[in-house]
Chains A and B, each alone.
Chain A
Amino acid sequence: MTMLKVLGQTLAAGCMALAVAAPAQAQSQPREIAINVGFGAGGVYHTMAMTLSRHMGRYLPGNPTIVVRTMPGAGSILAANHIANVAPKDGSMLAVIGGGTILEPLFRNAEAKFDPAKLNWIGSTSSETYTCVVWKETGVTKLQDMIERPLNAGSTGRGSRTNTYGAALNELLGTKIKLVQGYRGMNDIHLAMERRELDAVCGWGYSSIFSQKPDWLKDDKINILLQFAREKHPDLPHVPLIFDVLKTERDKAAMQLLVLDSYVAWPLVAPPGVPAETIATLRKAYIAALADPTLLAEAKQLQLGIAPVAGEDIQKVVQEVMASPAEVIENARKLSGL
């Protein structure tokens, strides 16, 4: 009986404390922050957000709980539209979208109803270097071989990264890549390479090779022929960067747009119109959380590469890209096969 009484009193006291504290907190800081992930549960975007959610709250005033929710659809355009038009503009709702989504409004996709330059970019957990990878048994060892002989490369369909980079290479360098379109995802492409239905894939993240097929690197099953990024990956000094093999400034300018998703690979964004100081707080907490030893240990276990890109930098690059000359945008759009 006494136990119950004590319990009752504690509960009552707790409720009162909450009642007093809640309105005070609600005014200054959100008690809960939601991160909407534009992709399905269990994927890299979701895993990244889950990992971040466990630690970022500690670095924000009021230590809010961070809840991760999935809002998959249309390659994260759905989540981008939501964060730009529907989400509250008080910092209580953020979103994880694909880096390539930025190009959708730029390439005049009518369904993409957001302005990337107006979104508030909090940061990206890292950049990514995309590669062209060829199955070793084909005997193809260098870029020149791809110009001389046809290769079957897997693609998840037009408009996807696995298609864009291959199509752009054919256009710019005259490679004879035959894109076999329609695979459901990267996993299916890998399996098709293993059973020799496919010879190659372009647009595979370098860090993903380590998490998805480390044995292919270990057992020397593949050759990496080319890298797509703004600059060379330190691990791949001998693999040519796309900008080193492009000849004209016109091509390079267009390619700068296409590799935007390698720079902004796993971004976290806030809605437009959130107060500047809230954004500053979020950006600071983001960088601090990504340096947290516990987070880093978890990320290592999850094979997530952490090399944060600051939100301010992304904001600048996105604004630059959005202000590109119409001709450059049109070239890039054509190259991507859209």
Chain B
Amino acid sequence: MGVSTRFFFLLLLHSGTCFRRPQLILREIFSSGVLSLIIILVSGLFVGMVLGMQGYETLQTYGSEEALGVLVSLSLVRELGPVVAALLFASRAGSAITAEIGLMKATEQLAAMEMMAVDPLARVVAPRFWGGVISMPLLAAMFSAMGIFGGYLVGVVLIGVDEGSFWSQMQAAVDIREDILNGVIKSTVFGIAVTVIALFEGYDAPPTAEGVSRATTRTVVTSSLAILMLDFVLTAFMFRGV
């Protein structure tokens, strides 16, 4: 824990280079963000569709099926969007980051960089960190948007909930600061956690095939647990006023 915290502060200290050369960060946003889009959008659509079906079943018991838009949007924006997007991000982008850095270490690419007087923390690690941190809230937002669309497809188009109620109740109930901003904060924190874990595991991996494989597994497991734990803590602070 101490070593990874030190690693986190070191990579913040070495972030100057990538801010002077934003193309390094843009490349990582492409690798971590753009290449994760398909899995995020498809998953978001299906999660939203399931929410639409389950929500309708529950709400119609109380004769409140017009509130389906509120249920779907609040569930996604507050909770499912940030959490599920982060879990998917950890398994797609996090594991890729760990494997890439671990292999760069195993094949002496990081050592070669150091021998060329280029600091790997500044040139390799920091751009990936900022790329991940910037990508994560954007991916969560797209997940939520796609989920709401999925809920609309099932609720309004297939089942026949009133379209006006669906959108107007959603608009009235979702608060920019309480719901959307808190969701963005959550996904940013998850982005920091997943990316730091993935980078640290890769950088710290023994330079062998087995070492890289274990580090990649650890990234997915540790990140997933960290996301769920942080989600509880953040939710407690944001919505319960703890």
A and B pair up: no
